[in-house]
């Protein structure tokens, strides 16, 4: 068996540690406290694994979670609903065997070896055995965890109703990498409707182009016109309003890129729709900058980012909005 490939990593979080702490604390016998803590963590690690597949397990009523029994028994049982109990045995870093306490029931469907890192933050399900004939089972005699899936069997997974899954996940697209833009490769951007600024310039109402447009800091700090700029026309279905969104990029340092975002009215309108909003979102979807048109002729926003950073530009008007994600 290829050990490394067949092992499963389960990150341990709040719930696993909460229960381990709650149960071990009650132990009057200090020498048993560590074993109890690790046993409970091991049970939760296996339970969490089965959660991935929608397989329900119950540990609340198991002996492993009974602090009274923990005074007198070394058990780490987990009930797999409808299948039976698994014994989940802890293995500490550096150990080459798993110790199976003779306190464990005879009718376990099997025994899982669970190894922990020093910080007890990560559990690794090392392997599985259906039966044991001795207390110490060498790790290299264990079967792979996938065998455990064969035994526990299929799960009845009812997918969440579609309403539960928000638009953010269903309409996701890979953020457009802007790195290529800086070296004049625009394929991905053209594919989603971006064009050279010059191609859409004629749609922008000339009177709306006020102020010092497309200014970014040069390497020496003076304001210059952004060398690379692209534009895209957006139609708002509701009113048939159309605006032009313009983006300018300038690499001011190797680790910093200035981004300029501007919005202009088209179709002869001199000012932007009143309730039009421009928002810049970070990778978590949180707005880090926003502004509303309020009858102004245009909107301009400037920010900078590091390579690898993601951001989204969101245009919103009433209920209608659209968002595009980019990565530097």
Partner 1 sequence: MNSNYMPQELDESYEQLALEAQKSPPGSVDRQKALSRLVNKIFQSGRLYRPSRQKVPPQFQGAYQEIINNALQLLAIFVCEHIDKYDPERGTLMGWINHLMAIKFIHEGIDQIQDKRLSRLGNRQELDEFIAAPSESSESATYKELRTFIEEDPENILRTLKMKSRPDITFQLVLIRRLNGQTLQEIANAFKIPLQTLAAFYRRSLHKVKANFRDFLDP
Span 19-38, contacts to partner 1 by CB under 8 A = 20-21, 25-31, 33-34, 37
Nearest to partner 1 of 255, 294 (CB atom):
255
Give SS3 for 17.
Answer: helix
Q: Does 18 bind partner 1 (CB under 8 A)?
A: yes
Nearest to partner 1 of 192, 199 (CB atom):
192
Q: Does 187 bind partner 1 (CB under 8 A)?
A: no
- The H or E element containing residue 44 is helix 30-52
d(CA 283, CA 298): 26
Instruction: Count other C-beta atoms under 10 Å from residue 131's C-beta.
Output: 8
Kindly determine how many residues on this chain lie close enough to bind partner 1 according to the rule CB under 8 A.
80
Q: Does 94 bind partner 1 (CB under 8 A)?
A: no
Selected binder of partner 1 within 131, 157, 161, 187 (CB under 8 A): 157
Instruction: Count other C-beta atoms under 10 Å from residue 89's C-beta.
Output: 26
Find the distance separating the first CA and the last CA of the chain, reported in whole Å: 43
Q: Does 161 bind partner 1 (CB under 8 A)?
A: no
Selected binder of partner 1 within 13, 82, 267, 268 (CB under 8 A): 13
**Could you write out the DSSP letters of every residue in 113-150?**
EEEE-TTS-EEEEEEEES--SSSEEEGGGPBPHHHHHH
- The torsion angle over the Cα atoms of residues 132, 137, 140 and 145, rounded to 10 degrees, is 50
Selected binder of partner 1 within 95, 105, 198, 275 (CB under 8 A): 105
Selected binder of partner 1 within 3, 58, 95, 135 (CB under 8 A): 135
The footprint of partner 1 on residues 215-254 (CB under 8 A) is none
The footprint of partner 1 on residues 258-297 (CB under 8 A) is 283-285
Stretch that binds partner 1, among 116-124, 190-198, 206-214, 313-321 (CB under 8 A): 116-124
Q: Does 72 bind partner 1 (CB under 8 A)?
A: yes
Stretch that binds partner 1, among 214-222, 225-233, 265-273, 308-316 (CB under 8 A): 308-316
Q: Which of 232, 224, 238, 227 is CA-nearest to residue 264?
A: 232
Stretch that binds partner 1, among 169-177, 203-211, 256-264, 313-321 (CB under 8 A): 169-177
**Residue 259, token pair as written in the block:** 């981004």
Selected binder of partner 1 within 60, 61, 154, 187 (CB under 8 A): 154
Contact 199, 189 (CB under 8 A): no
- Strand-pair partners of 323: 314
Q: Does 183 bind partner 1 (CB under 8 A)?
A: no
**Residue 127, token pair as written in the block:** 């392997």
Q: Does 106 bind partner 1 (CB under 8 A)?
A: yes
- Strand-pair partners of 234: 243
Selected binder of partner 1 within 3, 54, 58, 82 (CB under 8 A): 54
Q: Which of 34, 44, 55 is CA-nearest to residue 11?
A: 44
């Amino acid at each position: 068996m290829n050990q490394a490939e067949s092992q499963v990593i389960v990150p341990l979080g709040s719930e696993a540690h909460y229960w381990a702490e709650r149960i071990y604390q009650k132990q009057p016998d200090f020498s048993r406290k560590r074993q109890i803590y690790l046993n409970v963590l091991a049970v939760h690690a296996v339970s969490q694994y089965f959660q991935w597949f929608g397989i329900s397990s119950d540990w609340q009523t198991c002996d492993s979670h009974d602090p009274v029994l923990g005074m007198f028994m070394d058990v780490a049982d987990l009930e797999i609903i409808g299948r039976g109990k698994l014994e989940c045995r802890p293995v500490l870093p550096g150990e080459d065997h798993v110790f199976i306490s003779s306190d464990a029931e005879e009718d376990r469907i099997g025994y899982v070896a669970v190894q922990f890192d020093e910080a007890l933050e990560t559990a690794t399900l090392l392997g599985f055995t259906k039966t044991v004939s001795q207390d110490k089972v060498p790790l290299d005699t264990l079967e792979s965890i996938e065998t455990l899936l064969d035994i526990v069997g299929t799960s009845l997974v009812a997918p969440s109703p579609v309403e539960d899954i928000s638009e953010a996940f269903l309409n996701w697209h890979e953020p457009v990498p802007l790195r290529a833009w800086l070296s004049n490769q625009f394929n991905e951007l053209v594919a989603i409707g971006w064009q050279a600024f010059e191609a859409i310039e004629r749609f922008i109402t000339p009177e709306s182009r006020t102020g010092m447009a497309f200014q970014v800091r040069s390497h020496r700090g003076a304001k210059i016109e952004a060398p690379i700029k692209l534009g895209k026309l957006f139609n708002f279905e509701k009113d048939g309003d159309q605006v032009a969104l313009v983006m300018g990029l300038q690499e001011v340092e190797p680790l910093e890129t200035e981004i300029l975002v501007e919005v202009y009215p088209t179709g002869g309108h001199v000012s932007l729709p009143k309730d039009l909003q421009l928002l810049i979102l970070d990778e978590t979807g949180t707005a880090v900058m926003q502004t509303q048109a309020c009858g102004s002729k245009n909107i301009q926003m400037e920010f900078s980012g590091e390579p690898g950073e993601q951001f989204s530009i969101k245009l919103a008007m009433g209920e209608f909005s659209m968002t595009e994600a980019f990565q530097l």
